[in-house]
Chain A
Amino acid sequence: MAKLTFIGGIHPNDGKNLSKRKPIEDILPKGEMVYPLSQHIGAPAKAIVAKGDRVLAGQMIAEAGGFVSVPIFASVSGTVKCIEPRRVVTGDMIMSIVVENDCLYEEVEMAPKAPLEELSREDIIGIIRDSGIVGMGGAGFPTHVKLSPKDPEKIDYVIANCAECEPYLTSDYRRMVEEPEKVVAGLKILLRLFPNAVGILAVEDNKEDCIDTFRSMTQGDPQITVKALKTKYPQGGERQLIYACTGRKINSTMLPADVGCVVNNVDTIVAVYRAVMEGHPLFERIVTVTGDAVVNPQNFRVRIGMSYQEILEAAGGFRIQPEKIICGGPMMGFGMFEMNVPTTKTSTALLALTVDEVAAMKPGPCIRCGRCVEVCPGRVVPSLLADCAEHFDEEGFLQHNGMECCECGCCSYICPAKRPLTQEIKSMRKIQLAKRKK
């Protein structure tokens, strides 16, 4: 069978060998826990605890602040120290609940609401919402909103995004190796919501073992198919993934549901499984700590809210002083300037690089080699858009489909002149998006 893929994309050094064979290790936080009230797209959650309250792991400490919002749960037991603005990875100050960890890790009683067979569609979506589940691949869009399209009958495909195309990241991979049954069962729960849908497990072909496992687990199951995708960044991008799996195309103005698709990340699907089957709300996730500056690159099951500093220490700290620390992968992650910031529901990785190759490169003039056009999955002309952005030519930017850029970073990666193409386009897009909101 021909490999499923999309047009464009790049093949960066994937760096996954550093941590892909390291089993997921549980770590328990020792220090204070910080829960930013805004860890997702949409309205911030509203705190429902006050200073001095004792909380338990799994206890709701903030409720959803609207339809597009989710609650937040404590991940340790302890006392609420204060509710104040705290620094988060992006550098913003976000109102956060700070909990003094008592290191007892007492949990609230967790039990499934009812056997799966007795749950209606509304029940399942309600559980997902009340468990605080958001897209855990990085975007942080509330999952219950994604699962509530206008017309559930019109959904043909529920796609489990198992691509993990971002270099260095292995958290999804370990999840699939260690708990494949939860991924499949989670996907089956989602399929209950969409009567006419087929489930697709979309895995990049560099994870051959996962493809084999999933194939043998779903053999003879008419509801679920496993699709092997060509290994290429950004194969796990929503638009690219939908196209590779179904041949359907969406642009920036459309939602996956417009073409009958719902896409969820592996970790999100496992969170759904745990919420529905075990009554376990979202307060843990898998984080990869990796990079050539880290002593023991590995994968951790962390309690959301613990600081990056603690996770780093669990991985043995730095071997060499890194030049750059990134929250997330090298293509989409944020550069961090401080380690003492909390992990959130969307923290996929901590990547520490001894050499910052970008800083060493001097941008030169565009030689019009066309490589950015070649790799752009959005089928736009990045060099032209960057020119428009540089000269603040808003009209030209919009006319040449600047808003179709998905900010994947392929153009910046490939550019031989080392122009910051993605960065230029991104800043212009931000301005345009802000204008649209007005």
Chain B
Amino acid sequence: MEVFLGIDVGSVTTKVVLIDHEGAVLWSSYKKTQGQPIRALQSAFAALRRDMGDVEIKGVGTTGSGRKLADHIAGADQVKNEITAHAVSAIHFIPNVRTIVEIGGQDSKLILIRNRVVTDFSMNTVCAAGTGSFLEHQAARLGIGIGELGGLALSASSPARIAGRCTVFAESDMIHKQQMGHNLEDIVAGLCDALVRNYLNNLARGKEIIGPVIFQGGVAANPGIKAAFERELGLEFIVPERYPVMGAIGAALLARNTGKTRFKGWSVAEQELSTSSFYCSDCPNSCGVIEINDSDRVIARWGDSCGKWGKLEE
């Protein structure tokens, strides 16, 4: 059987999927990166091999902000930006999709699709106030698990009004609401509303959001956010079965039509890989150069704008 590997190294989580030629998902994993993308990737590979045996990979696609790193580690045939990857998988599962709302750990995206092609998109800029990290942080502050947040929000009777423009403001607003005596459910529901308002303000201004809308990314696990979006827009939000790994699926789908794969093989899971970095001092740009080392051998290097460190001597 021909199988393809999709890897999405995000800022907070690392996603790996295995699909067949028709795009059916045979295996998937969704794990916290915990600031160690290489280790996260290696452990996902080890798990895949344990579950699926030594399958022969015909193509590899990587995406996410760590897509280059994943390429250096695994050897990719397609290194794709997240917008294209998410759009490709959403269209694969729901061909008539017209809007994709994707909220991940540290960034969020809005993608408009008409007649199965992307016609417009936006991504949040430096602020992560409307993303999964924001929710996770606030849940921790309220002493509840991230998984409970959505259920609590749904049971609220009168959501508290919370500022969602900035995490710092939201936090002080929440403390204030708690001290005023609002109950936990209402505060959590208010938090969901705040995130949705923040998303719509930052990403959706001037964009035509029409159904079918697909809601994907880690935050789609939260029924409170889904309900807040639906209330705000008057549209149904469809959460696909594979919502947390849609980017990885898209990368894998894109890798289907490559010839001979550049996949480096499963041995990467066992290599002693480490990274190091230095600031080049040859010119005032002081580029931060990253190296991946296999024991004491440098296997990849990047980050320099002139490209002179990128070329490795064999």
Q: Are A and B co-members of a single complex?
A: no
